Amino acid sequence: NPSFAGSNGGLRYQSTTRSQWYSTSNPYLTYNNSIDAYIKPMKGGIALAYTRDDQAKGTLITDRIDLTYAQHFNLLEGKLKIIPSLQVSVFQKTLDNTKLNFGDQIDARRGFAWSSFPLKEKQTKTNMDFSSGLIVNYNHFYFGSTIFHFTQPDEGLQGPSKLPFRSSSFISYNISIGENVLLNALVRFENQQHFSNTYFNVNALFLKHIIVSSGITSNSVVNVLAGYRHNYFTISGGYEFGTSRINSTTAGSYEIAASFNIRNKENRKLVKDFEKW
């Protein structure tokens, strides 16, 4: 959700590497790097992010740059926070046609060859994109919603193809059990075109430093995560795998994430509950 820009009250750098279906011959790799900051005179957050998606070892590459502004409103003596945001993006898709295999061009029933046309070795298309987010926080309760790609840019490389808008909403609640245990329950719903998925996660923070998380999705994907949170940085590693009644062997995915802060989180007074995660 772009409304998290500036949520830690200072300057933060985050990096994530994800390998989806790494055991297959052509995995889906994602690299993300972002920096965000809270600007006190504006009472808002800004963020700059770069993401690269590499599908099938360079067959289709998407490079994306996001610029985000999130305005923080504090109401009811700081107990209620409302944070709307706007994200402006530029993304470029590059298709390497030399890595595509179209198979037999002869019609198996009638014997004639299908008509074909020559393709350039590489095709590239650049677009602008816009997204919008909202987070509402009251005490330990959070609600957030994001509409991605609401301008539906034409990303087609072989012809017109609009990028369908995607919606994402979540509900989250933090529960403290003594001084050494913090629990977080999270439900997130994603929808794009005719596809949807619901995520259920329980996260735990032990002794203010050790992070453990586990969850399942409505399409039977299980995820686990473990990490360590220091006053100046957080590092974590996660793994997810699908379950199926048809096939006992399913491809898994792993993700490594790190976050660095230039100041001690315990000294910040702006958004305490955000800082716990």
Summarised one tens digit per residue, pLDDT across range 200-227 is 999 999 998 999 999 999 988 999 999 9
| Mean local confidence (pLDDT), 188-204 | 96
Burial class (CB in 10 A: 0-12, 13-18, 19+), 63: middle
| Share above pLDDT 90 across residues of the chain, in percent, rounded to a whole number | 64
> If DSSP codes are grouped into helix, strand and coil, which group holds residue 182?
strand
Question: Would you state the pLDDT for residue 277?
Answer: 43
Quick: pLDDT tens for 67-110: 999 999 999 887 899 999 999 999 999 998 888 776 666 766 77
Quick: pLDDT tens for 53-63: 999 888 999 99
Tokens standing for 89? 């993006």
Query: Residue 4, Cα to own-chain centre: how many angstroms?
Result: 12
Give 111 or 156, the one with higher predicted confidence: 156
| Share above pLDDT 70 across residues of the chain, in percent, rounded to a whole number | 87
Give 275 or 26, the one with higher predicted confidence: 26
Question: Would you state the pLDDT for residue 264?
Answer: 47
Q: How far apart are CA 229 and CA 255, in angstroms?
A: 17
Tokens standing for 256? 């490594």
8-state DSSP, 37: E
Quick: pLDDT tens for 16-39: 999 988 777 778 999 999 999 999
CA atoms within 13 A on the CB side of 219: 9
The set of residues, in sequence order, having a beta carbon less than 8 Å from that of 177 and lying 6+ positions away, is: 183
Other CB atoms within a 10 A radius of the CB of residue 187 amount to 14
268 has pLDDT over 90: no
Averaged confidence pLDDT in the chain: 88
